[in-house]
């Protein structure tokens, strides 16, 4: 089961945060947003299909996020959690920790923003379009 989000890079994308990665529906990014890799996301957790949400709320669920630009791709794998609510109407966050809030879409991820290939980060900083496909199994 998949959810697909389209967003846009921004000149302030640095992707240096070591424990999170975020997409936001906001149309701006400040230099402090070191985990944000895309803005103007066309979907947020509150938009996700209830069946997808339910599948992610299983503690044994494996969730994969695939980030793609025209020339680059990154794959991050983590897991679900019963506390994932998918209620946020502004942004989604992938976490390497077990922290859960209404923005969290995956915990125990094997990578965060700082782990992305720098060519991908450079493309996002140049304003490339990015697609995130979330897959739950």
Instruction: Kindly report, residue by residue over 21-36, the tens digit of the pLDDT.
Output: 999 999 999 999 999 9
Q: Which domains does the chain have, with CATH numbers?
A: 2-136 (2.60.120.630)
The pLDDT assigned to 3 comes to 98
- Helical residues (DSSP H) of 38-135, grouped into ranges: 50-56, 118-125
Q: Give the DSSP H/E element, type plus range, for residue 106.
A: strand 104-106
Please report the pLDDT score of residue 46 as a whole number.
Answer: 98
CA distances from 19 to 96, 107, 111, 113 (A): 5, 10, 8, 7
50: three-class secondary structure by DSSP: helix
- What is the model's pLDDT at position 2? 98
Q: Each residue of 89-99: pLDDT tens digit?
A: 999 999 999 99
What pLDDT is stored for residue 68 in this prediction?
97
pLDDT tens for residues 83-137? 999 999 999 999 999 999 999 999 999 999 999 999 999 999 999 999 999 999 9
- In this structure, the strands spanning 104-106 and 91-95 are parallel
**Residue 116's pLDDT is what?**
98
In the chain, the percentage of residues whose pLDDT exceeds 70 is 100
Question: pLDDT tens-digit profile of 39-87?
Answer: 999 999 999 999 999 999 999 999 999 999 999 999 999 999 999 999 9
Q: How far is CA 36 from the centre of its chain?
A: 8
């Amino acid at each position: 089961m998949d959810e697909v989000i389209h967003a846009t890079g921004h000149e302030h994308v640095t992707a240096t945060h070591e424990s999170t990665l975020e997409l936001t529906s906001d149309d701006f990014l400040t230099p402090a947003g070191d985990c944000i890799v895309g803005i103007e996301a066309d979907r947020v957790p509150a938009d996700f299909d209830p069946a997808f949400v339910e599948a992610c709320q299983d503690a044994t669920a494996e969730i994969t996020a695939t980030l793609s630009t025209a020339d680059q791709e990154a794959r991050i794998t983590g897991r679900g959690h019963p506390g994932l609510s998918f209620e946020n109407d502004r942004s989604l966050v992938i976490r390497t920790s077990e922290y859960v809030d209404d923005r969290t879409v995956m915990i125990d991820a094997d990578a965060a923003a700082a782990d992305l290939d720098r060519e991908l980060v450079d493309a996002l900083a140049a304003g490339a379009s990015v697609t995130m496909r979330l897959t739950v199994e």
